[in-house]
Structures are given as structure tokens and as C-alpha cells.
A and B are shown apart, each in its own frame.
Chain A
Amino acid sequence: GQQLNQSPQSMFIQEGEDVSMNCTSSSIFNTWLWYKQDPGEGPVLLIALYKAGELTSNGRLTAQFGITRKDSFLNISASIPSDVGIYFCAGQITSGTYKYIFGTGTRLKVLA
């Protein structure tokens, strides 16, 4: 099955630093979603993007829907220890099924 290219795969950062991650695809998408997953739990929706070029914030999180509709970016500002987890992107395909394709995840570890 198709999966998105998400990078970086993992990152260690110091508390207070800003974080950037992105997802790219060879396909165009209608919608981009960003989720956070804690160990042993289901993913929680952070941000949803619906239009090319859209920039949306949720607290310290900011995400953008790439202008080509083939990529998306997530930034976390001033990271804190509870930001630890796995971040997934998901893109909604434009065909009749409107399924979501998920990235392979970015594992974030924050050092206090």
C-alpha cells in the first residue's frame, strides 16, 4: 500500500527548541492531517488542513498545506517534555474512496 515519506524518522531535541518535520508524496491530496500518538494509545488529531497554501496554528503547533498539494509541514515551537511522542501525517486521496494515507511517523524525544 502507498505510504507517505515523512522525515525525519526520529529526533532528539533540547527543551525549548523549535521542531520541524515534513511529509512528501508523489500524489496530490485534498486534505492533510497531523496526529500525535503516545505509547500504547491511539493517535490524537492535532491539526487539519483543507486548502493548498493554508497555514494553521494550534497553540505552539503550526502546520502548512504545501502549495503543490504534495507536501505538508509541522512546526512545534518552544518544545516541552510532554511533546514527546510519535507524530504522523496523513493525506486524503482525491479519488472516490477518499481514504487517508499515513506517513511512517516522526519519533520526537525532548531532553529536559
Chain B
Amino acid sequence: DGGITQSPKYLFRKEGQNVTLSCEQNLNHDAMYWYRQDPGQGLRLIYYSQIVNDFQKGDIAEGYSVSREKKESFPLTVTSAQKNPTAFYLCASSMRSGVAFNEQFFGPGTRLTVL
């Protein structure tokens, strides 16, 4: 089945540790995105990548890092510099259409809890 997978579903880490969240898509989509969602709030963009080996900061990139070495993979690292990392993290992808990008499709999310 085509889709976006995120792993793990739940992740617990001690304060001060870096942690990497996985996002894989087999939709052959060009662009991939990471969002953070806090309770009762909308989605805030962390990082996005519109082409392999290139990525851009979103609105809340501080304390996060990403890589895009393969088209199908866009892992997110939550570093110890992120002051409030406990949140629900969503990965999305979209297909390029000319100079623009089509609608975004989301993975199931990873809930990160920092103890």
C-alpha cells in the first residue's frame, strides 16, 4: 500500500537526550514536511524539503534538525536544545505540480514525551 509511515507511534526520552523520529513515504512525492502539534492547537511547521539534499526552516526550527538524503525519507532529530519537546509530531508529503506543490498527505504521527 502507498502511504506515509512514522515510527515509533510513542516515544519516551529523558531530558537532555537527542531523539530521531522517522518518516518514510512510498508515494514518490517530491516534498516532505514536519509539523508539531500541541494540545488544542493547530499545526506549526518545523522544517520542509522540496527536493533531495535540500531543506528549509519553517516557523519553529530552533532545537530541531533534519536531513533529506533520499527522496522517500525525511528524519527529524529533536535535540537537547529544544526547550519544550513534548508534543505530537506529524510528517507530511506532497507532489510537485509545475512550480507549485499539490495537497499534503499526513502520516499517523509520533507522540514524543520527554521525562
The interface of chain A, by Cβ under 8 A from chain B, is 1, 3-4, 6, 30-31, 33, 35, 40-45, 48, 88, 90, 92, 96-100, 102-105
Q: A1-B59, A40-B109, A41-B109 are in contact. Are A104 and B42 (CB under 8 A)?
A: yes
**Range for the number of chain B residues in contact with chain A:** 20 to 34
CB neighbours of B82 from chain A (8 A): none
Q: Which B residue's beta carbon lies closest to that of A30?
A: B100
CB proximity to A under 8 Å, residues B49-100: 56, 58-60, 88, 90, 99-100
Q: Which A residue's beta carbon lies closest to that of B44?
A: A1
A1, A4, A30, A48 — most chain B CB neighbours (10 Å)? A1
Q: A42-B108, A104-B42 are in contact. Are A92 and B100 (CB under 8 A)?
A: yes
Whether B26 sits at the interface, judged by CB under 8 Å, is no
Q: A1-B58, A1-B59, A45-B105 are in contact. Are A104 and B100 (CB under 8 A)?
A: no
Q: A43-B90, A102-B43 are in contact. Are A33 and B60 (CB under 8 A)?
A: no
Bound CA span A103–B48, Å: 18
CB neighbours of B108 from chain A (8 A): 41-42
The interface of chain B, by Cβ under 8 A from chain A, is 4, 6, 35, 40-45, 48, 56, 58-60, 88, 90, 99-101, 103-109, 111
Q: Which A residue's beta carbon lies closest to that of B110?
A: A42
Tell me which of A4, A41, A42, A48 contacts B103 (CB under 8 A): A48
CB neighbours of B40 from chain A (8 A): 105
Nearest 5 interchain pairs by C-beta: A1-B59, A42-B106, A104-B42, A102-B43, A102-B42
CB neighbours of B44 from chain A (8 A): 1
| A–B complex contacts, Cβ < 8 Å, 20 sampled | A1-B58, A1-B59, A3-B42, A6-B42, A33-B103, A40-B109, A41-B109, A42-B4, A42-B90, A42-B107, A43-B90, A45-B104, A97-B56, A98-B101, A99-B48, A99-B58, A102-B43, A103-B42, A104-B41, A105-B42
Q: Which A residue's beta carbon lies closest to that of B60?
A: A1
Closest chain A CB from B20 CB (angstroms): 19
